[in-house]
Chains A and B, each alone.
Chain A
Amino acid sequence: MSDFPPAASGFMVDATTTALILAARVATGVRAEWRGCDPTTHRRIYYANHVSHGDFVLLWSVLPPALRRVTRPVAAADYWRATRMRRYISEEVFRAVLIERTRTEETPDPIALMADALSGGASLILFPEGTRNTGDERLLPFKSGIFRLAEKRPEIECVPVWIDNLNRVLPKGEIVPVPLLCTVTFGAPVKLGEGEEKQAFLDRARAALLATAPANGEPHKDG
C-alpha cells in the first residue's frame, strides 16, 4: 500500500525500534487515549504540541504497530542529519520526512515533500508550532505549513494529539529526567473546509488541539 522506503527491515532496525519504545514506556509509563477518533491505518496527519525532543518518539511509541509502520514524523533536516547516529535513527528507524529549516534555491519545497509522503501512503506527524514551546503559553500560534499541506491534500484528516507532561519529565536545559507519567491523547479530527481561509483553519486546528488536552493538564503549567 505504500511506496515510501521500506527501510524498516533488518535486526538492527527492529532492535533499535524496540529499545526506543521500551525506553519511552519505562521512563514515562506512557498511555494512549483515543478520545476523538479510533486508531485506523487511514492516511492521516497527526499534529501535536511540541515541548521536547522526545515528543514524536512518545507519540510514535503509543501507535499500534500497524499504524507505526506507515507513520512518518516530519523533522528538521539540519538537526537529524548532523551525526551518523541521528541520521540512522531518523532515516532508517523513523523514516522521517526531513525538511530544511533554512530555504535556499536548491532545497526542495517542504510542503511538496510532505504531500509526496502522503501520496506514498504514509501518515505524518507534524508539530505546527514549528519550534519547541518552552514558555508559559500552553500552545504557541501555528505556522502556516499545516494549512498549506491541507490545501494540497484536503481529503486527509488532521488528528490533534496532545502530549501531556513530557515537558515536566525533561524540561529544557535539564539533564536528569524525572519519571513522571505521560499521556498522549488523540482528539477529534479536523479537515480543511471548502474555501476556508488560512487563519480560520489554523485557529480551528489550534482550538481542536487545545480541546484535546486533558483537563488536569492545566495545573501542570508553569505559573
Chain B
Amino acid sequence: MAEPNLLTLVAGVFAILAVASLIGFILKRTISWQKPHAVIDNLNARIKAWWVLVALMLIAFLFGKAGVVLLFAFASFTALREFMTLTPTRRGDHYALAASFFIFLPAQYALVLADQYGIYSVLIPVYAFLALPIIAAFRADTARYMERVAQVQWALMICVFCLSHVPAILNLDIPGFEGGNLLLIAFLIIVVQASDVLQYICGKLFGRRKVAPNLSPSKTWEGLIGGVGLATLLGAGLWWLTPFTPLVALAMAALIAIMGFFGGLVMSAIKRDRGVKDWGQMIEGHGGVLDRIDSLVFAAPIFFHLTRFFFSVS
C-alpha cells in the first residue's frame, strides 16, 4: 500500500517546489532582474535549498531504514556542532563535549537502528544526564559548573535526543499499516515544514502584531494563526499517508504545527541569548541546520509518543 502513496507524495512535493521556483523566477524577473533584492533573493535561495533537502530525503528513503537513520544522525551531528560552537564552554568541558559527539550521538542512533526503545528512550535523559556532570566534575573546574552542565545536556537533548525520534518512527508497529512508516515520517516533516513556510508567507503578507517582540521580529500572530491553521488543514488533507482518520490527522497536524512554532520560539530565545541571528551558514537562505530543523525537533518526540501510545502495538 505504501509504494503508490509515496509516488503520489513525491510528485506532489515536486509540483509544489516547481511552482515555488516559477513564482520565485517571475518575482525576480519582474521586480529585481539582475539587481540584488534581499527578500526575493533569500526566497530563491530558500527554494533552491528545498530542492536539495528534498532530494537528500528521497535518497535516504530509497535506502530504507539505514538511510533515514544515517541522514538524521548526520543532521544531529551538524546541529550539535552548531549548538556547541555557540555555547560558551570551558576547557573543563572538553571530555563532556567529546563524549557527546563520539559516544552519545552514535549510540543513540545505533540504538534507534537496532529498535531498542527501552534504552534509546532513556539513554540521553537518564544516562547522559548523569554521566556528563560526572565527567565535567572530574576536570575539577567549578566556574559556572551548573550552567555549563545544563548547556551541554540541553544541546544533546535538542540536537540528538529529540531529532532521533524522527527515524524512530520507523520502529512503530502499527497494525494494518505495515511498511508505511516512511509515509508517517513524510507526514510529520511535511506538516512541520509547511507550517514554517506558511507562517513565513502569512507573516510577510498580513503580519502586524508580534507574538514575542523581544525574541523574534518575524513571528506575528497573523503568521502564527494563518500558518498553523493552513498546515493543520494540509495535514488533514494528507490523512491518506497515515493510519489516522481525517479527524485524527487534523488533530495531529495541529499539535505538530503548534509544537513546531514553540520550537522556533525556544530556539530564537537561545539565539537571542547568544547574540546571533542564525545558528550557522550551512544552508543558503536558511542559515544553519538548526535554523531549519528547530520546529521538527520539538514536534518529533511528541508526535512519536502520541502515535506510539494510541496506534502502535510495540
Within residues 173 to 222 of chain A, which ones have a CB less than 8 A from any CB in chain B?
174, 176, 178-181, 215-216, 219-220, 222
User: Within 8 Å CB of A220, what residues of B?
Assistant: 88
What class of interface size applies to chain B in its complex with A? 20 to 34
What class of interface size applies to chain A in its complex with B? 10 to 19
* Cβ contact of B274, chosen from A165, A174, A180, A216, cutoff 8 A: A216
Q: Is the CB of A178 within 8 A of B94?
A: yes
* Residue B89 interfacial (CB < 8 Å): yes
User: Within 8 Å CB of A215, what residues of B?
Assistant: 275
Q: Is the CB of A180 within 8 A of B85?
A: yes
Q: Is the CB of A168 within 8 A of B276?
A: no
The minimal Cβ–Cβ distance linking B87 to chain A, given in whole angstroms, is 8
Q: Is the CB of A179 within 8 A of B81?
A: yes
* Residue A64 interfacial (CB < 8 Å): no
Q: Is the CB of B102 within 8 A of A176?
A: yes
* Residue B82 interfacial (CB < 8 Å): yes
Q: Give the CA-CA distance A180 to B82 in the complex, in Å.
A: 7
Given the known inter-chain contacts A29-B81, A215-B275, A216-B275, please indicate yes or no for A178 contacting B98, CB distance below 8 A.
yes
Between A and B, 9 residue pairs with Cβ closer than 8 Å are A174-B94, A178-B101, A180-B97, A181-B82, A216-B86, A216-B275, A216-B276, A219-B88, A220-B88
Q: Is the CB of B94 within 8 A of A180?
A: no
Given the known inter-chain contacts A174-B94, A216-B275, please indicate yes or no for A181 contacting B102, CB distance below 8 A.
no
Q: Which residue of A lies closest to B276 (CB)?
A: A216
Q: Is the CB of B97 within 8 A of A222?
A: no
User: Within 8 Å CB of B37, what residues of A?
Assistant: none
Given the known inter-chain contacts A216-B274, A216-B275, please indicate yes or no for A222 contacting B84, CB distance below 8 A.
no
Q: Give the CA-CA distance A169 to B280 in the complex, in Å.
A: 17
A→B interface (CB under 8 Å):
29, 31, 165, 168, 171, 174, 176, 178-181, 215-216, 219-220, 222-223
The 5 A-B residue pairs with the shortest CB-CB distance in the complex, in nearest-first order: A219-B88, A181-B85, A178-B97, A176-B98, A180-B85
The minimal Cβ–Cβ distance linking A114 to chain B, given in whole angstroms, is 33
User: Within 8 Å CB of A171, what residues of B?
Assistant: 91, 94
Interface of B is mostly: helix
User: Within 8 Å CB of B84, what residues of A?
Assistant: 178, 180
Produce 1/0 per residue, B274-307, CB < 8 A to A: 1110001110000000000000000000000000
Q: Which residue of B lies closest to A176 (CB)?
A: B98
Q: Which residue of B lies closest to A215 (CB)?
A: B275
User: Within 8 Å CB of B77, what residues of A?
Assistant: 179
The minimal Cβ–Cβ distance linking B97 to chain A, given in whole angstroms, is 4
User: Within 8 Å CB of A168, what residues of B?
Assistant: 89
Q: Which residue of B lies closest to A171 (CB)?
A: B91
* Residue B208 interfacial (CB < 8 Å): no
The minimal Cβ–Cβ distance linking A183 to chain B, given in whole angstroms, is 9
The minimal Cβ–Cβ distance linking B10 to chain A, given in whole angstroms, is 31
User: Within 8 Å CB of A181, what residues of B?
Assistant: 81-82, 85, 280
Known A220-B88, A223-B143; 13 more pairs at CB < 8 Å: A31-B281, A171-B91, A174-B94, A176-B94, A176-B102, A178-B94, A179-B81, A180-B81, A180-B84, A181-B81, A181-B82, A181-B85, A216-B276
User: Within 8 Å CB of A222, what residues of B?
Assistant: 90-91
Q: Which residue of A lies closest to B144 (CB)?
A: A223
The minimal Cβ–Cβ distance linking B273 to chain A, given in whole angstroms, is 10
Q: Is the CB of B101 within 8 A of A179?
A: yes
Q: Give the CA-CA distance A222 to B282 in the complex, in Å.
A: 27
Q: Give the CA-CA distance A216 to B85 in the complex, in Å.
A: 10
Q: Give the CA-CA distance A23 to B193 in the complex, in Å.
A: 33
User: Within 8 Å CB of A165, what residues of B?
Assistant: 85
Q: Which residue of A lies closest to B82 (CB)?
A: A181
Produce 1/0 per residue, B80-110, CB < 8 A to A: 0110111011110010011001100000000
